[in-house]
Amino acid sequence: MKKRYEAFLALDTRGKEETIKETIEQIEKTLKAEGAEIEQVQRLEKRELSYALKHMNSAYFVNIIFAADPLIITKLRQKLKLDESVAMQNYMLLPKKKVEVTA
């Protein structure tokens, strides 16, 4: 049974700001290849970090809401950990989406 998740990603854009769109599209393809159904992609913009992360002073943040089998979260963590453009990733389980009933 699929559950809803929120993936919060910090992307390393040093020297490759112009390829950010392609990087996000590649991450979306990775999610879909693992069976995730993407609900929403929020491009939050580039921001300064409060402390250096992997020698970076700023990162581009992306928030992706998707539905997936809980077992693929571990696979996603491993795959995106190998992606040099993903500096940080965090996943959070979301409550079920409320369905509005209209009479």
Between CA 92 and CA 103 the distance in angstroms is: 33
CA 56 to CA 45: how far, in whole Å? 15
Residue range(s) defining the domain that contains residue 37: 3-93
Total count of domains within the chain:
1
Token digits of residue 32? 């879909």
Q: Give the start-end residues of each E strand in 1-103.
A: 3-11, 37-53, 56-68, 86-93
Asked whether residue 100 is assigned to any structural domain, the reply reads no
Q: Read off the pTM.
A: 0.86
The CATH number of the domain holding residue 54 is 3.30.70.60
Structure confidence at residue 38 (pLDDT): 96
Return the pLDDT at 103.
63
**Which is higher by pLDDT, 77 or 17?**
77
